[in-house]
Amino acid sequence: MYLPEIEKKWQKKWADTGLYKFDKHSDKPKKYVLEMFSYPSGAKLHVGHWYNFGLADTYARYLRMKGYNVFHPMGFDAFGLPAENYAIKTGIHPKDSTVANITTMEEQLKAMGASFDWDYEVKTCMPDYYKWTQWCFLQLYKKGLAYRSAAPVNWCPNCNTVLANEQVVDGECERCHTVVTKKHLTQWFFKITDYAEELLSDLDTLDWPEKTKLMQKNWIGKSTGSEITFQTVGGGEFSVFTTRADTLHGCSYVVISPEHPMVDQLTTPAQKEAVEAYKEYAAKASEIDRLSTSREKTGVFTGSYAINPINGREVPIWAADYVLASYGTGVVMAVPAHDERDFAFATKYELPIERVVAKKHEDQDDSLPFCEYEGVLVNSGQFDGLTVTEGKEAITKHLSTLGKGDFKTTYRLRDWLISRQRYWGAPIPIIHCPHCGDVPVPERDLPVELPYDVDFTPDGTSPLAKHQGFMNTKCPVCGADATRDPDTMDTFVCSSWYFLRYPDNQNSEMAWDPAIINSLLPVDKYVGGAEHACMHLLYSRFFTKAFRDMGYLNFDEPFRSLVHQGTILGPDGEKMSKSKGNVVSPDAYIEKFGSDAFRMYLGFGFAYIEGGPWNDGGIKSVAKYLDRVERLTDRIYEATEDNKSADAKEVTYILHKTIKAVDEDLATFSFNTAIARMMELTNALYKYTDNAFDIDFAKDCIRTLLKLMAPFAPHFTEELWERIGGDYSIFNQDFPVYEEKLLVKDEITYPLQVNGKVKARFAVPSDFTKEQIEAYVRTEYAADFEGMDIVKLIVVPGRIVNVVVKPAK
RNA sequence: GCGGAUAUGGCGGAAUUGGCAGACGCGCCAGACUUAGGAUCUGGUACUUCGGUGUGCAGGUUCGACCCCUGUUAUCCGCACCA
């Protein structure tokens, strides 16, 4: 069968008959199967797309045949930097290149033969989509979850432009490799930190890869400790966050982040020059310096002193950039005896190092810095003798009674900076009025359309800021001349809610109808790359929770179950890249072997979640297997000599074993083993049909095999199904069901181990009890155990028998 | 540095979760059918001195370990001074 030809025929028929149209009114149970939508930056689908979409489609088709009403949409994450960078390089407008790429990719996705229902497609760069992205922004704004604030952004001094975090590679601009610096700009943020606790605790409810959950957990970074207030000698006060309140007596100085707003007031005139110089030094510190773990700690004395609230001692306040302004309070109490960083700093600047925790056990190494939790407090007045854990609690409680401290939980998670000084994105629907301040665009005025005729050459400002027609508007509140926000939203905003739009994508009245969305979501199976663990997957969870709290959704989590496909590498085992010249393009293979063979090889040649290096031989082997199935089908359907008494016991057993295995393997994305089982069945059927066979029975077997294969090779099986006279379509057939009783063999062959080594094999009726098997072994092998004592005889029913012997005395 | 994962024939990968290691396939070898074979079919294929030995390495638990425990090495991924 020449697959490329056959595939076109069936794709047409599937489209003509609307086979994959989603039935909103079906009374079958629903399954929402979703792949992370495509990013149309390149013009063509690559192997990774096929691996993701092709096998997720296999899963969707399987569920469909299992009797579910499967919702399986596809769309495009169409805004973003690559299109804009491409435009800067070539002069082709991002909209034009994106629309062209989408058209090509749609054709390719259709040529793949996936069961998407294109009626539900979304494209995030279209006004009828980003209108609602802007609406989402406004709801978050109304709810107090969007705010504007000054923040440092990545700045490339060579390109003279702002870079997204993703564009900063190892501290350098990804395009010109200039070292990236920081620049302060006023930016919009989403208050994802409000949901830190729930984003963390709900991870436990998700059927997600443990690694991904752990990454999110670490990213959120919950830390429980204490917040302690210090007075300054000059009369001011500030707080520090610590997880080691027990070591407070050992605090011999305090360190403030050089970017902290209090630095200036803490700096004494004598130290002003030194502190200013240090602030400048810290601001200039490049990303590369910050990335270096071995970077030597630096700092400067502010000239001021603070009072340690536990013992009234005056300690110097230093500014140092090893303290981050954005975590905790931006100030830390330094306990050099019990913290490695403080120890290094104190050693360098000759600050006092005083032990307040001693070892608990004799065999502990208690050299400084002593950072272990197994310890007891010393030099801590009334708290001496307490353990570290007891000390934390007792000291914090004591401070609390003095009004100088309390228990405190902090998170590493930062608010989400969504402003981009870029053109190709959804405009932020805010108007800046000289009288009214930031004014949200009224919902009736949405969308704020992205103009086409924009000069997006990078010059350090937002491209939209140069477009007078876009920028100049009237304040919706007071009517005065006002300007629009010139920034666009991070594309991750667009992708944080697309799964909510799919099922109701035509709705022009609202972003989604809660009745529809609440019945189809959450997504039952989400399939996509692991690289989104702490971005898209976290942002989408945040959106879901925020919109739930606003009453637009009634579920807590967007993606119940998540699978990450592995990465297909080049034949050399390296990640595919143009510069390495190891990119495998699907096109030539599709043309030669067909999309079914290509998809099936992707399923067969790899463990799905692992991926691995591409191998040319593998695809030939799958193509060969498909031919083999075709010949087998023809052999059986063209047979004339019927033999009802042919022994079908073995084939029947294999048939049902295969149904069971393929069913279970498909449910768990174990495509490679599912295909292996089908190959075994095929081999068994070849053997069975070598001589005259029971034709009706063999036809039954073939129909079952084709149905099992259908999710993997949709065109191929549809064609054979038609050839053998099956009703259209094979995808309207039920997935085969195995019979438990046919999985039981009459006899079971047991390996007989002696002292753990297999020495023999014997067969007994499968209903033999443990005792009967033991008795059988003892009598049957009595002669072999002559002169031996049987110490132990272990029978594992259905598995193995192990006899432990030793020479008789 | 911290956290996580992985390690099985020449290769991709299996192993019912503590019970016959190497399923299935690629590759290779031999044979059959062929004018021909890069088609198809059949058989073989971990190593071996044929007694055994084998799941990165060294120990341990167990009647029994790829699987559990301790230590160790290599590779990959994530985080990056988070107080």
DSSP A641-686: -B-TTS--HHHHHHHHHHHHHHHHHHHTT-HHHHHHHHHHHHHHHH
Residue A162 or A74, more confident: A74
Q: Check whether residue A168 has its CB closer than 7 Å to nucleic acid strand B.
A: no
Q: Check whether residue A649 has its CB closer than 7 Å to nucleic acid strand B.
A: no
Q: What is the structure's pLDDT at A177?
A: 75
Nucleotide nearest to A535 (CA to C1'): B78
CA end-to-end span of chain A: 71
Our measurement of CA A627 to C1' B36, in angstroms, reads: 22
Mean pLDDT across the stretch A21-35? 95
Our measurement of CA A786 to C1' B63, in angstroms, reads: 20
Q: What is the structure's pLDDT at A88?
A: 86
- What does pTM read for this prediction? 0.93
Instruction: Give the rounded percent of residues in chain A with a pLDDT score beyond 70.
Output: 98
Task: Report the distance separating Cα A61 and Cα A72, nearest Å.
Answer: 9
- Three-state SS across A473-521? EECCCCCCEEEECCCEECHHHHCCCHHHHHHHCCCCCCCCCHHHHHHHC
Our measurement of CA A679 to C1' B42, in angstroms, reads: 18
Mean pLDDT across the stretch A353-381? 88
Residue A293 in this model has a pLDDT that exceeds 60 = no
Q: Which of A721, A697, A723, A700 minimizes the C-alpha distance to A709? A: A721
Mean of pLDDT over chain A: 91
The H or E element that residue A154 is part of is: strand A146-156
ipTM, interface predicted TM-score of the complex: 0.94
Q: Check whether residue A612 has its CB closer than 7 Å to nucleic acid strand B.
A: yes
Our measurement of CA A180 to C1' B7, in angstroms, reads: 38
Tokens of A39: 């990013």
Task: Report the distance separating Cα A254 and Cα A271, nearest Å.
Answer: 16
Task: Please count the other Cβ atoms lying within 10 Å of the Cβ belonging to residue A143.
Answer: 14
Q: Which of A163, A124, A136 minimizes the C-alpha distance to A38? A: A124
Least confident of A71-75, A229-233, A584-588: A584-588
CB A68 within 8 A of CB A28: yes
pLDDT in tens, A549-596: 999 999 999 999 999 999 999 888 888 888 778 888 899 899 999 999
Task: Report the distance separating Cα A517 and Cα A353, nearest Å.
Answer: 60
Strand A253-256 relative to strand A314-320, pairing: parallel
- Phi, psi (degrees; rounded to nearest 5) at A153: -120, 165
Q: Check whether residue A412 has its CB closer than 7 Å to nucleic acid strand B.
A: yes
Mean pLDDT across the stretch A637-663? 92
Residue A578 carries which DSSP code?
A: G
Q: Check whether residue A803 has its CB closer than 7 Å to nucleic acid strand B.
A: no
Q: Check whether residue A191 has its CB closer than 7 Å to nucleic acid strand B.
A: no
Mean pLDDT across the stretch A67-89? 92
Residue A164 or A139, more confident: A139
pLDDT in tens, A727-755: 999 999 999 999 988 888 888 888 888 88
CB A346 within 8 A of CB A315: no
Our measurement of CA A2 to C1' B34, in angstroms, reads: 24
Q: What is the structure's pLDDT at A729?
A: 92
Our measurement of CA A284 to C1' B43, in angstroms, reads: 73
Residue A54 or A280, more confident: A54
Contacts of A677 (CB under 8 A, 6+ apart): A657, A658, A661, A662, A665
pLDDT in tens, A773-796: 999 988 888 888 888 888 889 999
Strand A168-169 relative to strand A69-71, pairing: unpaired
Q: What is the structure's pLDDT at A104?
A: 93
Q: What is the structure's pLDDT at A63?
A: 97
pLDDT in tens, A663-698: 999 999 999 999 999 999 999 999 999 989 999 999
Tokens of A276: 């200013």
Q: What is the structure's pLDDT at A761?
A: 85
Our measurement of CA A768 to C1' B70, in angstroms, reads: 41
Nucleotide nearest to A758 (CA to C1'): B20
Mean pLDDT across the stretch A427-444? 96
Instruction: Identify any residues that bridge with A440 across adjacent strands, giving them in sequence order.
Output: A430
CB < 7 Å to strand B — which of 2-41 in chain A? none
Q: What is the structure's pLDDT at A809?
A: 65
3-state DSSP assignment of residue A296: coil
3-state DSSP assignment of residue A150: strand
Q: What is the structure's pLDDT at A289?
A: 61
Instruction: Give the rounded percent of residues in chain A with a pLDDT score beyond 90.
Output: 71
Q: Check whether residue A607 has its CB closer than 7 Å to nucleic acid strand B.
A: yes
Our measurement of CA A793 to C1' B24, in angstroms, reads: 34
Q: What is the structure's pLDDT at A151?
A: 79
Q: What is the structure's pLDDT at A287?
A: 55
Residue A76 in this model has a pLDDT that exceeds 60 = yes
Handedness of CA A469, A474, A475, A476 (dihedral sign): negative
Q: What is the structure's pLDDT at A373?
A: 87
Q: Check whether residue A250 has its CB closer than 7 Å to nucleic acid strand B.
A: no
Residue A430 in this model has a pLDDT that exceeds 90 = yes
Nucleotide B5: nearest residue by CA–C1'?
A211
Q: Check whether residue A617 has its CB closer than 7 Å to nucleic acid strand B.
A: yes
Q: What is the structure's pLDDT at A292?
A: 57
Q: Check whether residue A219 has its CB closer than 7 Å to nucleic acid strand B.
A: yes
Least confident of A164-168, A294-298, A323-327, A498-502: A164-168
Half-sphere exposure of A446 (CA within 13 A, CB side): 28
pLDDT in tens, A689-719: 998 999 999 999 999 999 999 999 999 999 9
CB < 7 Å to strand B — which of 695-754 in chain A? 749, 751, 753
Residue A95 in this model has a pLDDT that exceeds 90 = yes
Task: Report the distance separating Cα A501 and Cα A391, nearest Å.
Answer: 53
Q: Which of A39, A34, A44, A13 minimizes the C-alpha distance to A590? A: A44
pLDDT in tens, A314-350: 999 999 999 998 899 999 999 999 999 999 999 999 9
Q: What is the structure's pLDDT at A477?
A: 94
Nucleotide B3: nearest residue by CA–C1'?
A218
CB < 7 Å to strand B — which of 746-775 in chain A? 749, 751, 753, 755-758, 761
Q: What are the Cα distances from residue A263, in Å, to A242, A258, A281, A487, A569?
A: 20, 6, 15, 31, 51
DSSP A603-628: HHSS-TTTEEE--HHHHHHHHHHHHH
Task: Please count the other Cβ atoms lying within 10 Å of the Cβ belonging to residue A553.
Answer: 21
Instruction: Identify any residues that bridge with A185 across adjacent strands, giving them in sequence order.
Output: A151
Our measurement of CA A617 to C1' B28, in angstroms, reads: 14
Q: Check whether residue A606 has its CB closer than 7 Å to nucleic acid strand B.
A: yes
CB < 7 Å to strand B — which of 280-299 in chain A? 290-291, 293, 295, 297
Strand B, nucleotides < 7 Å from a protein CB: these are 1, 3-5, 11-16, 19-21, 23-27, 39-42, 53, 63-65, 77-83
Task: Report the distance separating Cα A10 and Cα A538, nearest Å.
Answer: 39
Instruction: Identify any residues that bridge with A241 across adjacent strands, giving them in sequence order.
Output: A227
Our measurement of CA A566 to C1' B80, in angstroms, reads: 25
Nucleotide nearest to A615 (CA to C1'): B12
pLDDT-derived band at A286 (thresholds 50, 70, 90) equals low
Least confident of A151-155, A511-515, A552-556: A151-155
pLDDT-derived band at A291 (thresholds 50, 70, 90) equals low
Residue A485 in this model has a pLDDT that exceeds 80 = yes
